[in-house]
Structure 1
Amino acid sequence: MVDQGSDADIMYSNLYKRLNLNPEDLTAYDSPLVIFDGKVVIPRGQIRLPMQTGSKVVEVDFIVVDAYSPYTAIVARSWLHALGAASSTLHLQVKYPSGDRIKELVGSQSMARQCLVTAIMHQPAAKSLASTEGGL
């Protein structure tokens, strides 16, 4: 997901594990974050990784968090700026210069909808679990 309103590039722990990255590869990141549902999460750490878009490679400092998300990662303004890109949430597009051409990444409206449905379906379970835990 591209979040042009954020300056934090986020990687969720499930992607971190699937990339076979080691916990010792993380550097300290002590600032808590507020996630989508308003909860505070303490990051596991931060890691700088190359991210390839077309033929362009950009180094991204990902903050790794252990939290639920329908996304595997969120890239923010720092990635957009490093890429020299412009994004449109309305059109689900990112356009960036590549040599003498303008290339584009195009999102999927159906996939975005599916992610939203997944997030909504997960949220009531989290709330009921929280209310159950509070009553014990």
Structure 2
Amino acid sequence: MDIPLVLGFLDEDKARTIQPYDDALVVTLRIGGYDVRRVMVDQGSAANIMYPDLYKGLGLKPEHLTAYSSPLVSFEGRMVIPKGQIRLPVQAVTDVVEVDFIVVDVFSPYMTIMGRPWLHTLGAVSFTLHQKVKYPSGGQVLEIVGSQAAARHCLVAAIQHRLEAETSATANNGL
């Protein structure tokens, strides 16, 4: 008899988290054959986004990209024109799925953002409160655990970058 799997979160799932907090869910995944840290899981994102550090780190070149012409909106609310799109294997625990990444050339403290397309392909549920992603695989529920330390490191890097950009803009305007 098949027993349906339930993807849920219990108070025990918060056992290794620092409470209270409002950290992003940042995990490590195997992308294109490499372990990639600083992967933000964002169920609010309609796309999987790849940033310059990962693009260069994987040794990708413009000829590896396919055209992608729809503009995106950055966290700062600016319009971003993608460099293109690429499909790469992404391994979560033991499962590998092919993922389409939209490649952009803007600063991010994250290497990539994994959005709803990846979550839906895995059949996964993410929960920032518990700092976990859970998904069904082979009759069991597997989980990917987030790193609050990595999330906080990324937050600090984003704040520093913004302060440096504001200081540079002020200096360039002669103020």
Regarding TM over 0.5, the answer is: yes
Instruction: Identify if the C-alpha distance between structure 1 residues 128 and 38 changes in structure 2 by more than 3 Å, giving closer, same or farther.
Output: farther
Q: Does 1:27 align with 2:66?
A: yes
Which of 82, 104, 107 matches 1:68?
A: 107
Which deviates more from structure 2 when the two are superposed, residues 29-38 or residues 84-93? 29-38
Name the CA distance, whole Å, in 2 between partners of 1:43 and 1:134: 28
The structure whose residues are more often helix, as a share, is 1
Alignment partner of 2:97: what SS?
Answer: strand
| Structure 1 residue 134 displacement after superposition | 4.7
Name the CA distance, whole Å, in 1 between partners of 2:173 and 2:144: 44
The TM-score with structure 1 as length reference comes to 0.93
Higher relative contact order (CA 8 A, sep 6+): 2
Q: Does 1:100 align with 2:139?
A: yes
**Alignment root-mean-square deviation, CA:** 1.5
The gaps in structure 1 that reach 5 residues or longer are none
Which of 85, 93, 116 matches 1:77?
A: 116
Q: Does 1:109 align with 2:115?
A: no
Q: Does 1:3 align with 2:62?
A: no
Query: Which has more radius of gyration?
Result: 2
| Structure 1 residue 128 displacement after superposition | 2.4
Aligned residues: 136
Alignment partner of 2:136: what SS?
Answer: strand
Q: Deviations over 1:71-114 (max 9, x none)?
A: 00000001001001110011111001120111111111122111
The TM-score with structure 2 as length reference comes to 0.73
Identity of aligned residues (%): 62
Name the CA distance, whole Å, in 1 between partners of 2:72 and 2:172: 23
Alignment partner of 1:48: what SS?
Answer: strand
Runs of 4+ in 1 over 6 A off after TM superposition: none
Which of 85, 108, 111 matches 1:46?
A: 85
Q: Contact between 2:52 and 2:107, CA under 8 Å: does it hold in 1?
A: no
